[in-house]
Chains A and B, each alone.
Chain A
């Protein structure tokens, strides 16, 4: 995600700068400043007893952290509203990532390192989980898209599905001259192939289990003992099956890449809302029994 400047022929140079490097790491610097200042104040200020959420520093850190959490959650609204200008979505995302990470420090200092089996620590734990899932998301956003576009080779998702369908039709045609025992394999390859890989299975493993790949292997093996007149049509069918298998692999890899880009959000977003609820309960409970 390093900042690069391409010059397209006949065009003005456009800087491609990822959200992490946005404005020369403006928000990373801001986040580091916030962390350094809060840690210094925490260790230098005399709180009379010990640190917790109820001292002036505890309240301040709590207010800052809670407002920050609310602001971070507004990204969900902000990203749906397209607006140009200074505070563009890339800037927001950059700030979201860096300032969100500072919460780890701010909220920890807010707790004064007092943890227990209670609502307050629940809110803290949820926050930590949200941040961890966010960091994972950033990692995938930084690494997956390039692999993804390499894998996709300019095909659209629809292209992939169409191509698979086309190969299936081709298979049907090409299998016409085959013996029934071979046809059975081909039929199974058409009907039983599940494109979508299981969530907890690697792509090579899902390839091994794939009906198309298996059929290709079996028929290639069968080719050696097949009658002479069967060989040519078999060869054609196997060629199509192997192409389909290769295409399936790319498609599955594409699905996996997409999943990697999305799955963390299935933790990040619901956990954020759970955090918001726990935060509200935390604040209300603390002042209910002030």
Chain B
């Protein structure tokens, strides 16, 4: 009874060494890095793409007309061949 059958030590070993290290820590890591990482990735990608495309609009009217024409041709092709 002097050492309470090492009950405290056993408890500490199970919690600190087994549960905390092998279950708690990986679970916390997965939660932050994987589950939350995916959420952040989606958001950050949208922002990055937005930053990247912002410069694509040149301000030149010729380019606008070209896009207009390109869009027109694409829509005509879609209408005639696909729909």
Q: Do A and B come from one complex?
A: no
Interface residues of B (CB under 8 A from A): none
Residues of A within 8 A of B (CB): none
